[in-house]
A and B are shown apart, each in its own frame.
Chain A
Amino acid sequence: MPDQRRALLLAVPALAVFAAFWLLPMARLFVVGASGPEGARSYLAVVTNANYFRSLVSTVGLSAGVSVATVVISLIAGIFLQRNRFPGRGVLVSLMTLPLAFPGVVVGFMVILLAGRQGLIGEATARLFDERLVFAYGMAGLFMGYLYFSIPRVILTVMASVEKLDPALEEAARSLGASTWQVTRDVVLPALMPAIVSSGAICFATAMGAFGTAFTLATQINVLPLTIYNEFTNYANFAMAASLSIVLGLITWAALALARSLAGAGVAAAG
């Protein structure tokens, strides 16, 4: 037993840092959240206050929409990339994983280059239709940014799980006369379900909590992280910022816990 005890002691430094710089600050956040004029009821403000509630609904809606779109796009591209061999495939896969390490601010800038006032889409539509299409600085831009951020991650997950599929199952289905679409619907997609659900949940949690992209595009978009930021810095409403942060943290944590229970380890929000 002394060996085990000695091994456990080695986790103490990490735990001490965690307690001092995460647990205590979170406890403080929790207390500050209840210190406003409304007391502990401010934890309900996210549903009782019309403004915060709208912010919550639009953040959840945006994140859910991004997750569904990302998963659909990544399934089509990911299955294709894993199943087919053609010249340039390796380069294509590496190019598509480039944005993996981009922080939210850089993603925001990419959206501005595409859909901003001097962006590519604006330039193209101005030439073609005499009308400049600019949508970077609002919900649509944010949607695009989160797609940009999430697609590389989910494509990698899809490719890894397609690789692990048993080809015998598909061959069996095909030999029984199933069409390609039937094989995809009844064999491939059900087998990929754990990966789909978990990467969707990671997308959702990441989009809920992401701050950098929204901050780069416009500080007035009505999403929860920006609402929290504005309450804290512009209105010095620490109590409200704290309670909203706790609520947001609980939502992302719950989404990731769900993802992990469905797909095992390796799940984390990024960026």
Chain B
Amino acid sequence: MTRRPARYWLQLAFTLLVCAFLVVPIVMSILAGLTTNYFVGIRSGLTLRWVHEVWELYSETIWRSTWIALACLGCTLLLGIPAAYALARVQNRWTRLIEELLTLPIAVPGLATALGLVLLYGGWRDFRASWLFILVGHVLFTLPFMMRSVLAVMMAVDLKTLEEAAASLGASFRKRFMTIVLPNVRPGILAGSLMVVTLSMGEFNLTWMLHTPLTKTLPVGLADSYASMRLEIGSAYTLIFLLMIVPLLVALQWASVRAQKG
């Protein structure tokens, strides 16, 4: 055991402080959501009453967010994998331009995209009032992540050589796409899918402008509860959100490491 210099302990202390800054509020939020009375403190007792109340008030937003996230995943798979394939197989300035264009929705604030959507399609009542309006925003925002995740794996596995081999054996385009391309890029698809679902579940910047009182999502409900409900309810709601999002995040980190290894 070598003696560590003072610098080591200073850096360790600093890092622990940063960690505390990030983790303490999460712990506080979890405790507040389970405490009978937050102002009295933990000695007022633990309860599931607030979680239950959140379920009564907001369960609809939880189902809607889950549904939108899954629909968004379906759309980004259908749009993103073929687009990534095009960008991987044809590399010239046009495809670079296409990639640049498709990533614009994440380079520009969601608020701007949402205002544009409201100004152009807001008059179309049925569309404006439906959850599809929110889905459109989420697809725009998450598609670049799916596309890039799949594209990165496609570039790493040298798709061209694999496909040429299959083609020389007489495999049709459709057959090659289904039996060579898709299985080889599975790690990228998995990482991209987890990313899309995580982002869609938490999306707020666009969704706040796109939602209606009848199409509230989980993050919209959260903002609503922070503004108008007691602290315990906001905390219990946050707790439910964390229970949904943290497993996704853990899976995402595992999947990205796997995708990078190829």
Interface string of B9-33 (1 = CB under 8 A from A): 0011011101101111110110010
Q: Would A98 and B110 count as touching, CB distance under 8 A? A: no
Q: Please give me the residue from chain A that is nearest to B112 by CB atom.
A: A245
Assess whether B15 is in contact with A92, with CB atoms less than 8 Å apart.
Answer: yes
Complex contacts, B109 vs chain A, CB 8 Å: 208-211, 225, 245, 248-249, 252, 269
Known: A13-B79, A21-B117, A26-B116. A101 touches B246 (CB 8 A): yes
Is the pair B136, A21 in contact by a Cβ cutoff of 8 Å? yes
* Known contacts A103-B203, A252-B107, A269-B109; A97/B102 CB under 8 A: no
Task: For the complex, give the distance between the alpha carbons of A22 and B139 in Å.
Answer: 11
Interface: B162 (CB within 8 A)? no
The segment out of B51-59, B86-94, B182-190 that lies at the interface is B86-94
Q: Given that A8-B86, A21-B136 are contacting pairs, would A106 and B222 also be in contact in the complex, using a CB cutoff of 8 Å?
A: yes
User: Considering residues B24, B32, B89, B202, which has the most beta carbons from chain A within 10 angstroms of its beta carbon?
Assistant: B202
- Secondary structure of the A side of the interface? helix
Q: Complex Cα distance A205/B105, Å?
A: 13
Q: What is the CA–CA distance of A77 and B18 in the complex, to the nearest angstrom?
A: 8
In the complex, chain A residues whose CB is within 8 Å of the CB of B21? 147-148, 151
Smallest CB–CB gap between B202 and chain A, Å? 4
- Residue A266 at the B interface, CB < 8 A? yes
Chain A residue nearest to B241 in the complex (CB): A106
* Nearest chain B residue, comparing its CB with the CB of A246: B112
Contact, CB under 8 Å: A109 / B222: yes
Complex interface residues of chain A between 102 and 143 (CB less than 8 A to chain B): 102-106, 108-114, 118, 120
Could you show 29 A-B contacts with beta carbons less than 8 Å apart? A3-B173, A4-B90, A7-B85, A14-B102, A15-B102, A17-B79, A18-B143, A21-B136, A28-B116, A92-B19, A96-B18, A98-B246, A100-B249, A101-B249, A103-B222, A109-B226, A114-B25, A120-B24, A147-B21, A151-B22, A152-B22, A209-B111, A210-B205, A211-B208, A212-B205, A215-B223, A242-B115, A248-B112, A257-B107
CB distance from B12 to the nearest CB of A (A): 7
| A232-264 near B? 1/0 per residue, CB < 8 Å | 100000100110011011001100110000000
| Closest Cβ–Cβ distance, residue B164 to chain A (whole Å) | 10
- Interface residues on chain A, size class: 35 or more
Q: Which chain A residue shows the least CB distance to B244? A: A101
Given contact pairs A15-B83, A266-B148, a sample of 20 additional A-B residue pairs in the complex whose CB atoms are under 8 Å apart? A10-B86, A11-B95, A13-B78, A14-B79, A14-B143, A25-B113, A77-B11, A92-B15, A96-B22, A97-B249, A103-B222, A105-B223, A114-B28, A118-B38, A148-B25, A209-B110, A228-B111, A228-B112, A265-B148, A268-B106
By DSSP majority rule, is chain B's interface helix, strand, loop, or mixed?
helix
**Which residues of the partner chain A approach B110 to less than 8 Å between Cβ atoms?**
209, 211
B185 → A minimal CB distance (Å) = 14
Q: Are A101 and B202 in contact (CB under 8 A)?
A: yes
B119 at the A/B interface (Cβ < 8 Å)?
A: yes
Cβ distance B106 to chain A, nearest Cβ, rounded Å:
5
Assess whether A56 is interfacial by the CB under 8 Å rule. Answer: no
Residue contact B116 to A29, C-beta cutoff 8 Å: yes
Cβ distance B21 to chain A, nearest Cβ, rounded Å: 7
Across the interface, do B119 and A22 meet the contact criterion of CB distance under 8 Å? Answer: no
Identify which of A7, A76, A80, A268 contacts B103 (C-beta below 8 A): A268
- Neighbouring B residues of A257 by C-beta, 8 Å: 107
A229 at the interface (CB under 8 A from B): yes
Q: Is A32 an interface residue (CB 8 A)?
A: yes
Nearest first, the 9 closest Cβ-Cβ pairs linking A and B are A209-B109, A25-B116, A10-B82, A11-B86, A103-B202, A110-B25, A245-B112, A14-B83, A249-B108
Residues of B within 8 A of A14 (CB): 79-80, 82-83, 102, 143, 147
**A18 near B82 (CB under 8 angstroms)?**
no
Contact A95 B23 (CB under 8 A): yes
Chain B contacts of A242 at CB under 8 A?
115, 119
Residues of chain A in range 31-88 having any CB-CB distance to chain B below 8 Å? 32, 73, 76-77, 80-81, 84, 86
- B50 CB to closest chain A CB (Å) equals 14
Q: Does B70 contact A (CB under 8 A)?
A: no
Q: Mark B202-215, 1 if CB is under 8 A from A, else 0.
A: 11110011000000
Q: Are A151 and B205 in contact, with the CB atoms below 8 A?
A: no
B14 touches A77 (CB 8 A): yes
Residue of B nearest to A247 (CB): B112
